Chains A and B, each alone.
Chain A
Amino acid sequence: MAEARLPTARVRAAHLERLRSLTEAQGVSGDEGAVRKLVQAAIEGQADTVRTDSMGNLLVTRKGAGRARLRVLCAAHMDEVGLMVTAIDNEGYLRVEAVGGLDVDTLPGKLIWVGADRVAGVIGAKPVHLTKDDEDRRTISIDSIRIDIGAGSKDAAQSRVRVGDRATFATHFERLGRTIRAKALDDRLGVATLIELVLNPPAGIELLAAFTVQEEVGLRGARVAAYSLDPDLALALDCTPARDLPSWDGSENTSYNARLNAGPALYVSDGSTLSDPRLVRHFEETADEHRIRYQIRQPGGGGTDAGAIHLTREGIPSLSISVPARYLHSPASIASLADWRATVRLVYAGLSRLPGRWKRSR
C-alpha cells in the first residue's frame, strides 16, 4: 500500500540533476517562468490537471490511490530573491534595486546573470587603495551598487539588457560531500519536494500542488492559489535558515532557528502563522513512527506561504515544513541532502496517514 512507496533516503543522480537545473534557473519574484517550465517538464503526463493561473502560479492536482476525499494543498514557492535593473547609466553600468530580502552585503565582488539571456556581469568595488577614511570599513549600499557588463556605453548596454530585467547571483550548483551548495535553495528544495509528491502521490488524498509565485515579496501567489484550490488543509514546503554557526565569543548559540543535518523543521509559530497544533502533532507522530529525524523550527519571525494560506476563505488549517539551509538570500546557500530526503519522506508519510485521522471541517 502507500507505506510501501515511501520515498527512499537515497539520493539519486536524477535528484541531483533536478536540483541543479532548478537552482541554476532564474526566477526572481514576478519572473518565475523559467522555473515553471522546468516544473511543467518534470511532471508532464503525470498529473490529473495542470494549469497556470492569472499570477503565474502553477496549479497541479493529482488523486492518490483509493478513495481520495481529503483535499490537501501543498505549496512551494518558485520565486527567489534577486535584483531588478532600474537604470542604465551613460557609461553602460546598471543600477539595481533588491527584490525581496536579498542580503545586500553579499553583492560586492560577485558574478551576476542579467536577464533571461543571462548576460554576464560583475559587481565591483572602488579599490581599497583609493578609499578615503573608513570607506573600506563601511558596507556598500544598494544605491551605490553597479553591475558592469563590460558595455562601455549606454547604447551598447541597451542592446543586451533592458531596464526591468531581473538579475541573480551567477552561482553554479555544487555537491560538497553530503551537502549541496547553490543559489535559490530557498525554495527550489521545496519545489523539488513537491515535484516528487506529484510524481508519487500519497494514497487516500487528492494532492493540490501549488508551485507559487511572489512569496519573497509578500506571499502573494499563495493567497490566490489557496483561494482557487480551496483545500481542507495545507502544507507550506519551504526552506528555513540554519543559523547554527558558532558564536563569536564562545557562548552558546541559542538562536539557531534550525540546524543543518537535524532533519525537516516543523513550524509551531512564526511571524505570520500559528500552525494548526493538530497538524504539528500529526507530523511529529509520523516522524516518530517512521524514525525520521526532525526538529522544531525555533518560534520567531519570518514566514512562509502558510501565512497567506491559513487566512484564505473561511480559514485553512496549515503547517509549514522546511528544509534547513545556511546562508539563504546570499550568493550560495548550503543544505544537507539527508535533510532534504528526510523532508520528502516525512511529508509523504504524513500525508499518507492523514485519511481517517483528519476530520474534514465541512
Chain B
Amino acid sequence: MTDDLKSALQSLLKAPGLSGFEAPVRSWLEDRWGPLADEIEVSRLGSLHARKRGAGEEPRPTVLLAAHMDTIGLMVSDVLDGWLRVTEVGGVDLRVLPGLRVIVHGREDRPGLVVQPPTDLRPPAGSNRTVPLPHLLVDLGLPAREVARLVRPGDPVSFGQEPVSLSDDLLAAPYLDNRASVAALTLCFEELQRRKHPWDVIFAATTQEEETFAGARTSAFQIQPSLAVAVDVTFGASPGSPDHKTFALGKGLTNVMGPNLHPAVFAALRDAASRVEVPLVTEVTPRHSGTDAYALQTAREGIPTGLISIPLRYMHTPVELVSLGDIRRAGRLLAEFAAGLAPDFLTRITWD
C-alpha cells in the first residue's frame, strides 16, 4: 500500500461495507492484513482484529488502533412497480441524493439511480425544500418483474460514483469516511513489520460506527486493550463551512482533546508527531467526539483513549475529498506512537 497508496485506496473503496453489511470490505482487509498479523480474527459483530505481537516481556500491554470500516448509505424499504423506495443507513445528506448513481446490493449487484419525482407526483414541500427520503425513488432501468426478482426490502444500496483523482495528492470518492483511516491503519501495520515495538499492537476495523458504534464497543470489550486510539476523519476546510471548525487538507492531522479523550494519550500522540515531524493541530470536542473513541473509552473498566483525525472535505457526500499525504502522515504517526510506547508507559498515566 505504501508504494501505490492511490490505487490501493481505490481498490479498498470498491469493496462495499454499509453498516451491518461489512463482509465485502472485511474480506478485502483480511487479505491485506492476514500476512502482516500474528493472529487475526473476526468478532461476533463482524469487526476484524489483527494482532502484531510486541518484543517486550510478557504479560505485554496492548494498544488498540481502531478505524471503522462501515459506511453510510441507503436501504431498500419498498419495491414498487419496478422502482425502489429507500431509507437511510447512517446520516445521509438529502441534498446530494437526486441524480445520484448508486449500486443496489440485491441478489446481484445492479446499478441504480436516485431520482426526485416531478413536482406533481410528490407531496407539496414548499419552495427550496429538499424532497424527503420517503418520496425519492431508485430506478434500475429494468422491467418491474426483473426488479422484483432481484431486490427485496432490507437490501443495502451504496453510493455508486467512482473515485476521481483531482491531483497527485487529492482523491475524491464516496466513503473516504472512513476508508482513509483504514488505509492509514494499513500503512502503520506495514511500517511496524520493519520496526521493533515493546507492546502488542492490535489493529481493528470496526463495524456499525455510523449507526451505534456497536463494533468498537464490543471489540474493546473482547480485546481488553491497555490503551486505544481511534482513527477517523474530521471536517476539511471547504466553501461555506466555518473556519474555526474545519482543518486544511494536506497540512497535517488533528489530535483531538476533550472529555472523550485521555490527556496522557493526547500528549503521547503529540510527542510522537513531533518526533516524526508530522504536523498535528489540536481539535477540541467539548462533548461527544462522534467517533469510535466514544465507545472505546467506556468499555469494561474504562480505556485511556486518543483520537487522530484526517481532514476530509464534504463529509457524508459522494464526493468526500482527502489528501493522500495526510493518510501517509497518519500511518507514520500511528507507527511511531505504537512503537514508542515504553513497557512502563501505563504506570506513568496517573491523574494526581
Binding site for B on A (CB under 8 A): 91, 93, 103, 105-106, 108-111, 120-130, 136-141, 144, 146, 148-150, 169-171, 174, 176-181, 241, 243, 245-249, 253, 255, 326-327, 330-332, 334
- CB neighbours (8 Å) of A105 from chain B are 98-99, 116, 130
Q: Which residues of A contact B141 (CB under 8 A)?
A: 176-177, 179-181, 334
Contact present for A122 and B122 (CB under 8 Å): no
- Complex: A128 Cα to B316 Cα, angstroms: 8
Taking a contact as CB atoms under 8 Å apart, the answer to whether B319 and A111 are in contact is yes
* Chain B residue at minimal CB-CB distance from A241: B118
Give me the 4 closest cross-chain CB pairs, A-B, nearest first: A109-B96, A150-B166, A124-B314, A106-B99
Query: How far in angstroms is the closest Cβ of chain B from A342?
Result: 17
Q: Shortest beta-carbon distance, B117 to chain A, in Å? A: 5
Q: Does B329 contact A (CB under 8 A)?
A: no
- Name the distance in Å between A159's Cβ and chain B's nearest Cβ: 12
Q: Which residues of B contact A174 (CB under 8 A)?
A: 111
Q: Which of B62-70, B238-246, B276-284 contacts A (4 or more CB under 8 A)?
A: B238-246
Partner of A332, one of B113, B146, B169: B113
Question: Using Cβ atoms and an 8 Å threshold, which residues of chain B touch A148?
Answer: 166, 172, 238-239, 313-314, 319, 321
Of the stretches B15-23, B51-59, B87-95, the one at the interface is: B87-95
Min Cβ gap B128→A in Å is 5
Chain B residues within an 8 Å CB radius of A327: 99, 113, 115, 139
Q: Would you call B172 and A176 a contact (CB within 8 A)?
A: no
Q: Does B1 have its Cβ within 8 Å of any Cβ on chain A?
A: no
List B residues at the A interface (Cβ < 8 Å).
Answer: 80-81, 83, 91, 93-101, 110-111, 113, 115-118, 120-123, 128-130, 135, 137, 139-143, 146, 161-162, 164-167, 169-170, 172, 235, 238-242, 245-246, 290, 313-319, 321
Instruction: Find B118's partner among A146, A176, A245 (CB 8 Å cutoff).
Output: A245
Number of A-B residue pairs at CB separation under 8 A: 185
Instruction: Determine if A125 and B235 form an interchain contact, defined as CB atoms under 8 angstroms apart.
Output: no
Nearest chain A CB to B135's CB is how many angstroms away? Answer: 5
Neighbour of A124 across the interface among B128, B162, B170, B238, CB < 8 A:
B238
Given contacts A103-B98, A125-B93, could you give 11 more A-B pairs where the C-beta distance is less than 8 Å?
A108-B317, A124-B239, A127-B315, A128-B91, A129-B91, A129-B235, A136-B95, A139-B129, A148-B172, A169-B99, A243-B121
Q: Evaluate contact between B166 and A139: CB separation under 8 angstroms.
A: no
Q: Contacts A126-B240, A130-B242, A176-B140: A246 and B95 contacting too (C-beta < 8 A)?
A: no
What separation, in Å, do the CA atoms of A13 and B310 have in the docked complex?
A: 46
Tell me the bound Cα distance from A109 to B129 in angstroms: 17
Cα–Cα distance between A110 and B173 once the two chains are bound (Å) = 10
Residue of B nearest to A106 (CB): B99
Beta-carbon nearest neighbor of B170 in chain A: A150
- CA of A8 to CA of B81, assembled, Å: 30
- Distance of A179 Cα from B113 Cα, bound (Å): 13
Please tell me which one of the listed residues B95, B110, B118, B162 contacts residue A109 in the complex, with CB atoms under 8 A apart. B95
List chain B residues, Cβ under 8 A from A136. Answer: 93-95, 130
